């Protein structure tokens, strides 16, 4: 199986690598050094497939304040618990935030706050599955790709700036 990818050049964050298996989006990587390890021995080819073109267009709309949610087939690679968390992330409204505890309660596992944090960290579909909308219980920007809370801050600011367009 060949893995296809395209690169979205974001003024805000730099290059984003979008990966597909031809049927669904598998990964959106903000950090190229992590993306390079993703293929796991499969051939990787740059592509402008209709699916990747659609993903690039939707990312462009998002970064220019014209899109709040994404409409793309996604291939999540996680446990049932992780996938439940990721689905909950997709329900956080554009421009708003939730805490790890909020998500744990929403999925009916109020004591699973740390597990929600681990699932959030394991999300390979950055931006499309909006893990950047999760904050610490005191509102602090925590837990985004290690210490890259600057990226989380930029994405939340972008959404807040354009939020009124959708009100």
Residue numbers annotated as active site: 131
Query: Which DSSP symbol is given to 21?
Result: -
Long-range residue pairs from 8-11, CB within 8 A, at least 24 positions apart, any chain:
8/55, 8/56, 8/59, 8/60, 10/59, 10/63, 11/63
- The pair of structure tokens assigned to 142 is 């925590």
Dist CA 110 CA 108 (whole Å): 6
Element (H, E) at 10: strand 3-10
């Amino acid at each position: 199986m060949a893995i296809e990818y395209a690169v979205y050049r974001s003024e805000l964050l730099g290059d984003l690598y979008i990966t597909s298996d031809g049927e669904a989006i598998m990964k959106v990587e903000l950090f190229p050094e992590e993306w390079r390890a993703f293929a796991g021995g499969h051939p990787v080819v740059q592509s402008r497939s209709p699916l990747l073109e659609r993903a690039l267009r939707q990312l462009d709309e998002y970064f220019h304040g014209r899109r709040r949610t994404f409409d793309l087939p996604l291939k999540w690679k996680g446990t049932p618990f992780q996938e439940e968390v990721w689905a909950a992330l997709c329900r956080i409204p554009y421009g708003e935030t939730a805490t790890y505890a909020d998500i744990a309660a929403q999925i009916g596992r109020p004591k699973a706050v740390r597990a929600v944090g681990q699932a959030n960290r394991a999300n390979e579909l950055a931006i499309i599955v909006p893990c950047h909308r999760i904050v610490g219980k005191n509102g602090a920007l925590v837990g985004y790709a290690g210490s890259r809370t600057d990226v989380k801050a930029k994405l939340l600011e972008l959404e807040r700036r354009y939020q009124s367009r959708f009100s």
